[in-house]
């Protein structure tokens, strides 16, 4: 009887494809194809062959965005919080350690049975002596990771990787008022970049650090500064690995991010935590009102929060090396700051760096 009903039912009812399923299947398949292309690119780079950047077209970016990465990231976050049976913890974590090359000898707790779920393992703390903070240089690396790019900001454009840029204003959003940032008004300038430079003779610099899944996932203060303002951009959660960063122009402007702005002894200073696939959770320790990867948001929107108040006119003071926040899994840190013209980076593009090591100094 059941077989007869199957044969007599309209074909459209048996093989019904909904638009959502088509988008997920198509977008997921294309994302897999891009992963394969990224792998081939990495192999060429290892052999010393430089491949020119091939930027994605608008329809390719739209197709990638059709993948429900925000929903998948929330699901991944809930899965990470499921408590694992004691007997299962060591096999699961050992597989992750082997896959991503995690050095557990640096962990404050090396016993894998101690971590009740994947989330605790991802956010593991390090031994105090594992990351000594450099005292000789004014700016240190806020995290472990890979240096994607660094240098002066030119023509209001910032390089996310070599040859691929994004708009400084699109990334940071409209300039926060000098009164809210609590430092002197910048000299009048025509461009957005000139408006951020508060002292004559200074330049604007940037540095991009990519955190891989096997890296230490907390980030720290890169220098002594005061955080005056937080701006949260809800957005996509596309992958930010170097291959995708070479492919999608203004990738960091598409993705969800948290911009912290303030000042240090040389003027304007900002640190931006950029979200990525499976990294919908960005936590800032002193900001309890921040909630990232919410189910609903308005495209192109952002929300501001000022740490300057009548009771706290200095903002949030941060010491070099002090704990600042954390990711869940891995992502990207972007530093954009003002410094005198004789500021020099002590870096090479593509190098691995660890939290506490020198980025640059005067």
220 is known as an active-site residue: yes
Structure tokens given for 327: 């990711």
DSSP 275-333: P-TT---EEETT-TT---S-S---TT--EEEE---SS-TT-EEE-TT-EEEEESS--EE
Residue 127: count other Cβ atoms within 10 Å of its Cβ.
12
270 is catalytic: no
Sign of the four-CA dihedral 117, 121, 122, 124:
positive
Sequence-separated (6 or more) residues with CB below 8 Å from residue 146? 209, 210, 212, 242, 350, 351, 352, 353
- Catalytic residue flag (residue 294): no
Task: Say which of 38, 143, 144, 266 is annotated catalytic.
Answer: 144
Which of 141, 239, 270, 331 is the catalytic position?
331
Per DSSP, 57 falls in state P
Helix (H/G/I), strand (E/B), else coil: 212 = coil
User: For the stretch 232-265, what's the b/e string if a residue is b when 16 or more beta carbons lie within 10 angstroms of its beta carbon?
Assistant: bbbbbbbbbbbbbbbbbbbbbbbbbbbbbbbbbe
Looking at 206, 220, 254, 266, which residue is catalytic? 220
Please identify every residue annotated as catalytic. 144, 220, 331
């Amino acid at each position: 009887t059941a077989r007869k009903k199957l044969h007599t039912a309209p074909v459209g009812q048996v093989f019904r494809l909904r638009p959502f399923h088509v988008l997920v299947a198509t977008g997921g398949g294309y994302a897999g194809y891009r992963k394969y292309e990224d792998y081939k690119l990495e192999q060429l780079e290892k052999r010393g062959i430089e491949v020119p950047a091939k930027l994605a077209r608008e329809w390719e970016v739209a197709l990638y965005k059709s993948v429900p990465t925000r929903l998948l990231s929330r699901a991944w976050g809930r899965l990470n919080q499921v408590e694992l049976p004691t007997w299962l913890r060591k096999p699961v974590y050992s597989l992750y350690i082997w896959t991503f090359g995690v050095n557990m000898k640096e962990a404050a707790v090396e016993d894998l049975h101690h971590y009740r779920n994947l989330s605790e393992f991802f956010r593991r703390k390090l031994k105090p002596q594992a990351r000594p903070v450099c005292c000789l240089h004014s700016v240190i690396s806020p995290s472990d990771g890979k240096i994607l790019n660094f240098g002066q900001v030119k023509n209001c454009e910032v390089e996310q990787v070599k040859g691929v840029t994004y708009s400084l204003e699109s990334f940071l959003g409209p300039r926060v008022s000098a009164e809210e940032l609590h430092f002197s008004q910048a000299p009048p300038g025509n461009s957005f970049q000139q408006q951020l430079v508060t002292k004559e003779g200074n330049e604007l610099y940037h540095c991009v650090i990519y955190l891989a899944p096997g890296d230490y996932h907390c980030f720290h203060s890169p220098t002594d500064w005061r955080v005056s303002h937080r701006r949260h951009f809800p957005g996509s959660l596309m992958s930010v690995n170097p291959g995708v960063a070479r492919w999608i122009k203004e990738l960091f402007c598409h993705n969800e991010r948290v911009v912290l702005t303030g000042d240090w002894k040389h003027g304007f200073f900002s640190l931006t935590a950029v979200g990525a696939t499976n990294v919908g959770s960005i936590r800032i320790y002193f900001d309890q009102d921040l909630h990232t990867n919410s189910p609903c948001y308005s495209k192109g929107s952002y929300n501001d929060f000022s740490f300057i108040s009548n009771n706290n006119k200095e903002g949030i003071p941060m010491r070099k090396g002090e704990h600042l926040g954390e990711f869940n899994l891995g992502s990207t840190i972007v530093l954009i700051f003002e410094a005198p013209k004789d500021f020099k980076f002590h870096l090479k593009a593509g190098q691995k760096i660890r939290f506490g090591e020198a980025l640059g100094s005067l």
